[in-house]
Amino acid sequence: MQSITTKDGTEIYYKDWGSGQPIVFHHGWPLCSDDWDTQMLYFLDQGYRVIAHDRRGHGRSSQTATGNDMDTYAADFAAVAAHLDLRDAIHVGHSTGGGEAAHYVARHGAGRVAKLALIGAVPPQMLKTAANPGGLPRDVFDGIRKGLAANRAGFYWDFPVPFYGYNRPGTPLSEAVRANWWRQAMMGGAKAQYDCIAAFSETDFTEDLKRIEVPTLVMHGDDDQIVPIADSALLSAKLLRNATLKVYKGYPHGMCTTHADVINPDLLAFFRS
């Protein structure tokens, strides 16, 4: 198993396949790098080097009780990037991973990053505050915490339904996709995943987005029930200096899985542009 050990003793698992320009994939909550399997195989076949890691507390990385915050997540990946000597890298982040990717690029990516893609991503900020009146109220995230703490397995069995839009008319539920989501989620540590709810909902990425200079593709489904588009992608595209916004009509939060046949070629076109 490929991994590095951070300064606080946390093991961060990663995959590193192929050669060529590196593409780094940052996964969503509460999943792991396996969520990118379809993209990694596709871009490997296109001649890229593909890399994905399991965030601390998720997947095969250490089930941490501390450090489950965006500053540490970004620093963890900076350690992976230094270990692999990644340069001219393209970063792709989905959901929580979009926040992690933006935080990394803004704070650690100087001289190492070529482009950024944010897919269904949580920036600028999910939580409703005085400065972010369009955000989701705190009780939404308290409900997620309550569900995780009371019955993590049951809560995670239900969560993929809105995640992939399986509750929409005419959208058949894929038991295989649901089971794979559940498998990934249950691999991680409950404490780290619980803490990560605050990390993805309360972190304000506004200054990160303003600092990012590399070309950035912002991709979002307009039927995203997990990260509503109005207070995420539409605002992020305005804050970024060099952004292209692409909105997908009717697509759900998990569109990298449900519509990989569209998302992958669109990413490829952006990478090659």
252 cis-preceded (ω within 30 degrees of 0): no
Q: Measured between alpha carbons, how far is 224 from 232 in angstroms, rounded to an integer?
A: 11
Give yes or no for a contact between 61 and 34, defined as CB atoms under 8 angstroms apart: no
**In the sheet that 22-26 helps form, which strands lie side by side, from edge to edge?**
3-5, 11-17, 49-53, 22-26, 89-94, 113-119, 216-221, 243-248
Residue whose pair of structure tokens reads 């996709």 in the numeric block:
177
Rounded to 5°, the CA angle 72-37-180 comes to 90
- On the 0-12 / 13-18 / 19+ scale of CB atoms within 10 A, 245 is middle
Catalytic residues: 95, 224, 253
Cβ contacts of 259 within 8 Å, gap of 6 or more: 248, 251
Q: Measured between alpha carbons, how far is 46 from 265 in angstroms, rounded to an integer?
A: 11
What is the sign, positive or negative, of the torsion defined by CA atoms of 190, 192, 193, 197? positive
